[in-house]
Amino acid sequence: MFRRMSIVFTVIILCFSILFTRLLYLSTDNGMMAAAKSQGTATLTVAKERGNIYDRNYNNLVNEQNRYVASVNPIPKAVNTIAKQLDEKDREDFLQRINTGKPLTIELNKSINEEGINTFLLKKRYSDNQLAAHIIGYTGYDDLGITGIEKVYNDYLTEQDAKITVSYPVNAIGSPLTGIEPNIVNTIDNTTQGIMLTLDKEIQQIAEDAADKYIEKGAIVIMEVGTGDIVASVSRPTYSPNNIADYINDENSPLLNRAFSAYSVGSVFKLVTVSAALENNISPDFKYECKGSITVGSNTFGCHNRAGHGEQNMAEALAHSCNPYFINIGQQIGGDKIYNLAVSLGFGKANYFAKDYSSASGTLPEKDMLKGPAVTANFSFGQGELTATPVQICSMVNTIASNGEYYTPRLIAGKVDVNKNLIEEPTTPPVQVIPEEITDTVKEFMSEVLKEGGTGYTAAPYNVIAAGKTATAQTGVMDGDREIVHSWFGGFFPYIAPQYAVAIIAEDCEDGKISTCPAFKYIAEKITDLKDK
C-alpha cells in the first residue's frame, strides 16, 4: 500500500511540475506567441484605399482630407477610453458592437494610441466640398463605384494592394488574447496608381465659385482652346458624395450632371447660322430691316425687341441677337446648309469620354423637315426641335476660337501607373470644319456682343478682351401661365490668341445679364489673374 501511495504521489508531483513548467513558458514572449498561434487570429481590415483621381497636373481631386480610424481590442481600458470620445448616439452604437467581445474598427476625431487601441491616419475619399462631384461620382457601401469616374474605372481603382490590416491572436472562442501586440500590415502608401483627368483643379475651383455666385440651376463647361480638353465641368445644384441618401428624393435633382444633359439652345446657335451664311457667300455687309417680327409662309416669328432693331448688318444683328435677321439669311441659304455644319460641329451625337461614359446626344430636326420654311426659320435662331449639351455648345465655341478646327471633347487624360507615369489615352486629330478666314470674321462679330449696346455687355471682363454670344432659349414647358426659359452664354478669351472656351447655362432664368454673363466675366477675370501670377 505504501508503495502504491508513493507512485500516486510521484505522478501528482510530476503533473504539477509539467503544469508549472508550461505556465513558466507561457509567461515568456516566445511562449505567449506560441500559444497565440495555436489558438488562431482575428484579422481586421482597417482600411482599403482606392486608387487616386488626379487633375491634369497630378493634383489630387480625391483623398485630400485626413481622418482617423482605430482598431480596438475590447479590453475595459480601451473601451472606456473610446467611449469617452464619442457623443451619446455613437457611444451607444459602439458599446453595442463591442458586446460581441471581438476586435472592431471605429472612426475618431483624433489619434488615440494606448493599450488595446491602434489609431491610423487615413485619407477621406471625398472632401466636405468636393470638387467636380458629378464627374468623379461616388462609391457605395461596398466601396465599389456607383457613378462617374469611380464607376467607369472601378476595376483599375481597386486592383492595387493599398490597405491596413490588424491581426489579433485569439482564443478558441474568438476573443483576443491580452498582453500580446497585434500584427499590423500597412501598405496604404501604395495609392499612386489612378486616373488622370483633363480637369485643372484651380480652374475647376474658379468655375465652381462662379456657379455658386450666379447659377442656382445649370452648368459650366470650360475647354482649352486648341485641344478640346475639358478643364472644368460644373453642375448645379451639387451634392456631397459623403451623404448620398440626403439627395435621392430632392426635387431639384442635384445628382443629375447638367453639364452632360441636353437643353433647348436658343440664340447661341446663331454662331452656326452666321458661319454657314458666310461660307455660302452671304456678305457680312448684307443688311436687313428688323421691324420686330418676320413672316415666313403663314407663320410669324417675333424678335425679342418687339419694336424692331431697324436696319442691321451681320455684325450688328449678332450683337443685338436679332431673330428676323437670322431667319432671313437662313431662308436664303437653306436649312440643309446649317444642318450640315451643325453635324460637323458635333450636334446630335453623344460625346464619349470612356466606354459607357458619355454626355447626352441632344437632338437635331429631321433633315427632310428642313425643307419646310417654318422649320428652317426656327432652326436658324436655335429654336424648334434642337437641343444640345453644355459640352456641345462649348465645343462649338472652341471650334470658332480654334480657327475652325473641331476638337473632340476630352475628359480622360489616361491611367497613372504605380510609378506615377501617365499612360495616355489616344486622341482624335482635329478636323477643319469652318474655314479659318470665316472664323476670323465670326470672332470679330462675337467681340461686338460684349461691347456697350451688345446683349452680352455685362460679360465683359475688366482685365482681358473676350468675345461671346448670349441666348434665351424657349423650352415650350409651362409653369402655370409662364413659359420656362433658359439663359446661355458661350464665349472665349483672350480675344487675341484664345486660350479658353466657355459655355454656361442657367435653368429657368430669363435674364442672362444677372446670371450667365456675370458668371463668364468672373471666370475670365479669375483665370486671367491666375495665369498672370
Q: In what order do the strands lie in the sheet with 482-493?
A: 230-236, 218-224, 500-506, 482-493, 467-479
- DSSP 8-state assignment for residue 454: S
Looking at residue 181, what is its pLDDT? 86
**What pLDDT does residue 189 have?**
75
Matching residue, cell 451664311 = 277
Quick one: average pLDDT of 302-315? 94
Rounded to 5 degrees, what are φ and ψ at 195? -120, 135
What residues have CB less than 8 Å from 259, skipping those under 6 apart?
134, 219, 220, 221, 233, 234, 235, 359, 389, 390, 391
pLDDT band (50, 70, 90) for residue 39:
low
Determine the angle formed by the axes of helices 373-380 and 323-333, rounding to 10 degrees.
Answer: 130
- Residue 35's pLDDT is 47
- Mean pLDDT for the stretch of residues 429-455: 97
Q: Which H, E and C letters describe 350-391, residue by residue?
A: CCEEECCEECCCCECCCHHHHHCHHHHHHHHCCCCCCEECHH
Pairing status of strand 218-224 against strand 104-108 = unpaired
Higher pLDDT, 388 or 65: 388
Q: Which residue has the higher pLDDT, 1 or 122?
A: 122
How far apart, in Å, are the Cα atoms of 496 and each of 365, 393, 440, 452? 35, 21, 10, 20
Task: Say which residues have a Cβ less than 8 Å from residue 286's Cβ, sequence separation at least 6.
Answer: 313, 314, 329
Q: Quote the pTM value.
A: 0.89
Q: What percentage of the chain exceeds 70 in pLDDT?
A: 92
Residue 197 — φ and ψ, nearest 5°? Answer: -95, 165
Q: Is the pLDDT of residue 422 over 60?
A: yes
- Interval 116-168: pLDDT, tens: 999 999 999 999 899 999 999 999 988 899 999 999 999 999 987 788 999 98
Looking at residue 113, its pLDDT comes to 83
Q: What are 61's three cell numbers?
A: 481631386
Of the given ranges (11-25, 40-54, 245-259, 432-446), which has the lowest mean pLDDT?
11-25
Give phi and psi for 119, each to the nearest 5.
Answer: -105, 140
Distance CA 158, CA 143 (A): 9
Contact assessment for residue 170 and residue 40, using Cβ atoms and an 8 Å cutoff:
yes
Are 521 and 515 spatial neighbours (Cβ–Cβ below 8 Å)? Answer: no
**pLDDT value at residue 177:** 78
Q: Looking at residue 445, what is its pLDDT?
A: 98
State the greatest distance between any 2 C-alpha atoms of the chain, in Å, as a whole number: 137
Is residue 117 a contact partner of residue 82, using CB atoms and an 8 Å limit? yes
pLDDT value of residue 9: 47
Burial of 64 (0-12, 13-18, 19+ CB in 10 A): middle
Output the pLDDT for position 14: 37
Structural domains of the chain in order of their starting residue, each with its CATH number: 47-196 (3.90.1310), 199-532 (3.40.710.10)
Q: Region of 229 please: left (phi>0), alpha (psi -120 to 50) or beta.
A: beta
**What is the structure's pLDDT at 251?**
95
Q: What single DSSP character describes residue 237?
A: S
Instruction: Round the average pLDDT of the chain to a whole number and report it.
Output: 91
The string of pLDDT tens digits covering residues 372-411 is 999 999 999 999 999 999 999 999 999 999 999 999 999 9
Strand partners, 447: none
* Of residues 255, 217, 258, the one with CA closest to residue 138: 255
Q: Which residues contact 114 (CB under 8 A, 6 or more apart)?
A: 77, 78, 81
pLDDT for 473: 94
Least Cα distance to 162 among 186, 140, 126, 145 occurs for 186
**Per-residue confidence (pLDDT) for residue 170, from 0 to 100:** 84
Give tens-digit pLDDT for 485-530: 999 999 999 999 999 999 999 999 989 999 999 999 999 999 999 9
Give the angle subtended at the CA of 478 by the CAs of 299 and 519, to the nearest 5°: 95
Give the E-state strand segments of 125-205 in sequence order. 163-169, 183-186, 194-197
pLDDT of residue 28: 53
pLDDT of residue 295: 95
Answer whether residue 201 shows pLDDT above 70: yes
Query: For the segment 225-277, what is each residue's pLDDT rounded down to a tens digit?
Result: 999 999 999 999 999 999 999 999 999 999 999 999 999 999 999 999 999 99
**Can you tell me the mean pLDDT for 453-468?**
97
